[in-house]
Amino acid sequence: MTGVNDPGLAVALITAMLVVAGAALTLVGALGLLRLKTFYERVHAPTMGSTLGSGCVLLASIVLFSALESRPVLHEIAIGVFVTLTTPVTFMLLMRAAMQRDRIGGGDGRGETPNGDDG
Amino acid sequence: MSMMLLSGSLLLAHAMLTLAMACAAIRLLRGPRAEDRVLALDTLYVSAMLVLLTIGMRGGNAHFFDAALVIGTLGFVATAALAKFLLRGEVIE
Amino acid sequence: MRRWLPFPWLWLSLTALWLLLNQTMSVGHLLLGALFAFVICHGYRLLEAPRATRRGPWRRAAVAVRLLADVAIDIVRSNAAVARIVLGPGARARTAGFLDIPIELRDPLALATLACIVTATPGTSWARYDAEGSILTLHILDLIDEAAWIRIVKDRYEARLRKIFE
C-alpha cells in the first residue's frame, strides 16, 4: 500500500465491505463450477461472479477512487455495462453448443448426457 | 485504522479471487466436456479481471483499470469464438 | 433527422462511453467522441439492425426503471439462493431441468433484453428460443415450482418488456 492517501473511515468501510462481498461471491461461483454435477448445472454458477460479484468490486473501485481523487471516477461503469451485455452472448452460444452436441451424441439434448458427465 | 481496514480487506479479496481462479483452472483441466473447459476459461477471465481491479485498488493506481478492460474484452471474444467453434466446427463461416 | 443521424440513442451512448473512457468533459474530446459515434452509427446502419419508432418515452422509461429495480432485487435474491445450493450439502433433494415457457414477445431488442435479464440472474439460463412456436426454453437450477418460474418470467419480465418495446 504505497502511494495511497487515507480516504477516511467511512469510504474505507464501504469499500472493504463491497470488495470482500464481491470476491466472496466470485469464489462461491467458482466453487459451484467445481461442485455441481452436470454441465447444465455448472452453467449457473459463474454468473454469480460475472453479475453481482463484479458489480460489487466495480462499485468498490468507483467509491475508492472517487474519494482518493476527489472527483467522480465513473469509468468502471463501462466494464459493468460491457460484462452485462456480453455474458448472455457467450452463455447462449455455450448452451446451444452443449445441447447440439448432446443431440448428435445420441441424447435428446434435454436431459443428462449419455457420455460421461461425472463432475 | 481505515488504512488497515482497507489493506486487510483488499488482501482478503485478493486471496479469495486467486482461489476462485484456482477452482476455475481445476475445472479447466478436469473437463470432462469441452463446454466445461470453455466455461471455466470464461470464469478464469472474469476472475482475472477482478484480480487486476483489486491490485489497482491496493496500489491506488487507476491504470490497472485499462488492463482489466482489455482482459474483459479479450475474454469475451475468446469465449465466444470457442463456443462458436464447438457449435459449428468453424469460427467464421 | 433520421437520415442524418440514424440511431440517436446509440449515438448518445457511444459519445458518453468515449467521454467515460477518457474521463473528461473537455470540448475536444466531446467533438471527437461525437464524430466517432456518428461514423459508427452510419456503419451500424449497414447491419440492417431492427428499429422501431415507439411512442411515449416517459411512460416507457418509468416502466424500465421499475423493471430494473425488480431485476436488481432478483439478482441479489438468486445469488443468495445459488450460493446456498453450492455451499449446502450435496445430497439435498433438488431438481434441475429445462422449462418451456410460451411467450408473446416478438421484438428482437425486447428478446435480447430478456436474455440479458435471464442470464444475469444465476439459477436461470437461456437454453433455446423457438421463434416459430414462440417457445422459450430455460434451464433452471432449482426447479421445484414450475408455475412460479413461469409467473416470474411472464408477469415480472415479459409484461413489462412488452410495455417498453411494443
Each residue's pLDDT expressed in tens, for chain C with a length of 166 residues = 566 777 778 888 899 988 888 887 888 889 999 999 988 888 887 776 666 666 677 888 888 899 999 999 999 998 988 888 888 776 566 778 888 888 888 888 888 888 888 888 888 888 888 888 888 888 888 887 888 888 888 888 888 888 888 7
Cell reading at A66? 472517487
Q: Would you call A20 and B69 a contact, using CB atoms and an 8 Å cutoff? A: no
pLDDT (tens digit, 9 = 90+) per residue, A1-58? 445 667 778 888 888 999 999 999 999 999 988 888 888 888 888 888 888 899 999 9
- Give the ipTM: 0.86
pLDDT (tens digit, 9 = 90+) per residue, B31-63? 788 889 999 999 999 999 999 999 988 887 878
pLDDT at B12 over 70: yes
**CA–centroid distance for C30 within its chain:** 28
Can you name the residues that pair with C129 across neighbouring β-strands?
Answer: C136
- List the single residue in A32, A84, A91 with the smallest CB-CB distance to C86: A32
Q: Would you call A51 and C139 a contact, using CB atoms and an 8 Å cutoff? A: no
> How much is the average pLDDT of A75-86?
87
Using a CB-CB cut-off of 8 Å, the residues of chain A touching C116 are 84-85, 88
Using a CB-CB cut-off of 8 Å, the residues of chain A touching B17 are 23, 26-27
Q: Which of C71, C77, C124, C139 to mutate to test the interface with A (most CBs of A within 10 A)?
A: C139
Chain A neighbours, 3+ Cβ pairs < 8 A: B, C
Let me know if residue C52 belongs to a domain.
Answer: no
Let me know if residue C129 belongs to a domain.
Answer: yes
The total domain count for chain C is 2
Cβ contacts of A70 within 8 Å, gap of 6 or more: none
- List the single residue in A45, A74, A75 with the smallest CB-CB distance to C82: A45
**What residue of C is the nearest CA neighbor of A98?**
C127
d(Cα C152, Cα C154) in Å, to the nearest integer? 6
Q: Would you call A95 and C119 a contact, using CB atoms and an 8 Å cutoff? A: no
d(Cα C6, Cα B78) in Å, to the nearest integer? 31
One domain for residues C76 and C35: no
Task: Print the domain residue range for C37.
Answer: 8-45
One domain for residues C159 and C97: yes
- List the single residue in A6, A82, A90 with the smallest CB-CB distance to B42: A90
Q: Which of A58, A79, A117 to mutate to test the interface with B (most CBs of B within 10 A)?
A: A79
**CB-count exposure of residue B29 (10 Å: 0-12, 13-18, 19+):** exposed
pLDDT at A113 over 50: no
Are C126 and C98 within 8 A, CB to CB?
Answer: no
One domain for residues C93 and C154: yes
Using a CB-CB cut-off of 8 Å, the residues of chain A touching C115 are 88, 92
Are C11 and C38 within 8 A, CB to CB?
Answer: yes
Q: Where are the domains of chain B?
A: 2-88
Task: Tell which C residues from 20 to 79 touch A, by Cβ distance under 8 Å.
Answer: 20-21, 23, 75-76, 79
Quickly list DSSP for chain A: --S-----HHHHHHHHHHHHHHHHHHHHHHHHHHH-SSHHHHTTTHHHIIIIIHHHHHHHHHHHHHHHHTS---THHHHHHHHHHHHHHHHHHHHHHHHHHHHHTTS-SSSS-SS----
> How much is the average pLDDT of A58-65?
90
Let me know if residue C50 belongs to a domain.
Answer: no
Cell reading at C137? 426454453
For chain A, how big is the Rg over CA atoms in Å? 19
One domain for residues C153 and C93: yes
One domain for residues C29 and C76: no
d(Cα C15, Cα B93) in Å, to the nearest integer? 32
Q: What is the pLDDT of residue A101?
A: 81
Q: Where are the domains of chain A?
A: 9-104
Asked if B29 is an interface residue toward chain A (Cβ–Cβ < 8 A), one would say no
Task: Please give the C-alpha separations between residue C11 and each of A86, C39, C40, C82, C145, in angstroms, as whole numbers.
Answer: 20, 9, 8, 38, 43
Q: What is the pLDDT of residue C103?
A: 86
Q: What CATH topology corresponds to B2-88? A: Helix Hairpins (1.10.287)
d(Cα B39, Cα B86) in Å, to the nearest integer? 12
One domain for residues C36 and C82: no
Q: What is the pLDDT of residue C50?
A: 61
Cβ contacts of C77 within 8 Å, gap of 6 or more: none
Q: What is the pLDDT of residue B90?
A: 63
Using a CB-CB cut-off of 8 Å, the residues of chain A touching B84 are 93, 97
Q: What is the pLDDT of residue A28?
A: 92
Q: What is the CATH number of the domain that holds C91?
A: 3.30.1360
Residue type, B17: L
Task: Tell which C residues from 102 to 141 touch A, by Cβ distance under 8 Å.
Answer: 112, 115-116, 118-128, 139, 141
Q: Starting at the edge strand that comes first in sequence, how are the strands of the sheet with C135-140 ordered?
A: C97-102, C135-140, C124-130
Q: What is the pLDDT of residue C49?
A: 63
Asked if A33 is an interface residue toward chain B (Cβ–Cβ < 8 A), one would say yes
**Size of chain A in residues:** 119
d(Cα A28, Cα A51) in Å, to the nearest integer? 13
Using a CB-CB cut-off of 8 Å, the residues of chain B touching A47 are none
Asked if A109 is an interface residue toward chain B (Cβ–Cβ < 8 A), one would say no
Task: Please give the C-alpha separations between residue A76 and each of A38, A65, C30, in angstroms, as whole numbers.
Answer: 34, 10, 19
Tell me how close the Cα of B48 comes to any Cα of chain A, in angstroms. Answer: 11
Q: Would you call A61 and B53 a contact, using CB atoms and an 8 Å cutoff? A: yes
Q: Return the percentage of chain A with pLDDT > 90, whole number.
A: 17
CA atoms within 13 A on the CB side of A33: 35
Are C6 and C41 within 8 A, CB to CB?
Answer: yes
| Three-class DSSP category at C93 | coil
Are A95 and B81 within 8 A, CB to CB?
Answer: no
Q: What is the pLDDT of residue C1?
A: 56
One domain for residues C15 and C95: no
The pLDDT-based confidence of A106 (bands split at 50, 70, 90) is low
One domain for residues C126 and C67: yes
One domain for residues C40 and C71: no
- List the single residue in A1, A23, A49 with the smallest CB-CB distance to B43: A49
∠ at Cα A31 (C136, A114), nearest 5°?
Answer: 55
